[in-house]
Chains A and B, each alone.
Chain A
């Protein structure tokens, strides 16, 4: 039984990683992130209202306790978030740097009287 959760977690982690990295700036990519967020929220509410459901779900995939399953899901969600954030930051940095480079070049061209071709 333990095999199931291992496969699920590993495959899920890989799929999420690749899918988000590839679609991070498309509309559907953004939409899927929102759907995932809503599902997570709904799941949380269900887990709180019916504590046994997490246990049942855990047993279904071969995890001992519901709490463990929750932890796995949380870790995946966190990695997903961290990676996404890192890439987003890099995109922002690229924009900032391109702008700064433009300023540097315009400034230098003015100083040395270079007309842009």
Chain B
């Protein structure tokens, strides 16, 4: 049992799968924080059944906002390492363990999961192309060199958790986190992770056209900053 780590899971309408994801995380980790982002289904009921902490957004604010809330809550827990984890079951606990092993060497501040270094099961080609384009775009904006910029699996230390201030509420937060890493010069490393695209996660995943929104907001931020 890992008592030094907190798993942060933003949850939005995941009633069908969330309890399974939470229970499997609780097998290896003492602290799991779920942020229910104003779900309209029974997500919070399912979370309450488990031993995870539940933080409830009064309104739906988006995944980035839920992550920030989760991080702010988790800072109060007696842990040194913070993990962001998707609620739909596409990440593997095994990958978290290998990222933790690496970050505990103290050589890095933040570990980022990469599905392109690792194995990706069942990703559509159209999604692959859009993601690759998004990665190019994001690398140019943030100045980092990464193979995967929109991966929900991250492990970071307390320094990063205290410094993290995500302001973009929706999916654009992934790019914003990278900008924060670049700006604060955190030491980062990508770790290959396996993403399992099930029918469920595919149906829930963001549509390709949303890349336009993310790109527009990222550019606007660059101008207005």
Point out residues on A near B: beta carbons under 8 Å.
17-18, 21-22, 87, 93-94, 96-97, 100-101, 103-105, 107-109, 111-112, 114, 116-117
In the complex the two chains form, is B56's CB within 8 Å of A104's CB?
Answer: yes
Q: Give the interface segment out of B64-72, B178-186, B192-200.
A: B64-72
Residue of A94, A101, A108, A109 near B54 (CB, 8 A) is A108
A17 to B219, CA, bound (A): 13
Q: Is B61 part of the contact surface with A, judged by Cβ < 8 Å?
A: yes
User: In the assembled complex, which residues on chain A have CB atoms less than 8 Å from the CB atom of B53?
Assistant: 108, 112
Residue of A22, A97, A109 near B224 (CB, 8 A) is A22
A–B complex contacts, Cβ < 8 Å, 21 sampled: A21-B220, A21-B223, A94-B167, A96-B59, A100-B58, A100-B59, A101-B65, A101-B72, A103-B58, A104-B57, A104-B58, A104-B69, A105-B69, A105-B72, A107-B56, A108-B55, A108-B56, A109-B73, A111-B54, A116-B76, A117-B76
Q: Is B215 part of the contact surface with A, judged by Cβ < 8 Å?
A: no
Distance in Å: Cβ of B166 to nearest Cβ of chain A: 10
User: What 8 A-B pairs have minimum CB-CB distances, sorted nearest first?
Assistant: A108-B55, A21-B224, A101-B69, A97-B61, A104-B57, A100-B58, A104-B55, A97-B65
Distance in Å: Cβ of A6 to nearest Cβ of chain B: 23
> Number of B residues contacting the other chain (C-beta, 8 Å)?
20
For A107, give the chain B residue with the smallest CB separation.
Answer: B56
In the complex the two chains form, is B61's CB within 8 Å of A100's CB?
Answer: yes
A104 to B68, CA, bound (A): 12
Distance in Å: Cβ of B59 to nearest Cβ of chain A: 6
In the complex the two chains form, is A93's CB within 8 Å of B169's CB?
Answer: yes
Distance in Å: Cβ of B52 to nearest Cβ of chain A: 11
User: In the assembled complex, which residues on chain B have CB atoms less than 8 Å from the CB atom of A22?
Assistant: 224
In the complex the two chains form, is A109's CB within 8 Å of B76's CB?
Answer: yes
In the complex the two chains form, is A97's CB within 8 Å of B223's CB?
Answer: no
A111 to B167, CA, bound (A): 26
User: In the assembled complex, which residues on chain A have CB atoms less than 8 Å from the CB atom of B55?
Assistant: 104-105, 107-108
A73 to B76, CA, bound (A): 54
Contact with A along B12-49 (1 / 0, CB 8 A): 00000000000000000000000100000000000000
User: In the assembled complex, which residues on chain B have CB atoms less than 8 Å from the CB atom of A105?
Assistant: 55, 69, 72-73
Contact with A along B72-84 (1 / 0, CB 8 A): 1100100000000
In the complex the two chains form, is B224's CB within 8 Å of A87's CB?
Answer: yes
A117 to B72, CA, bound (A): 12
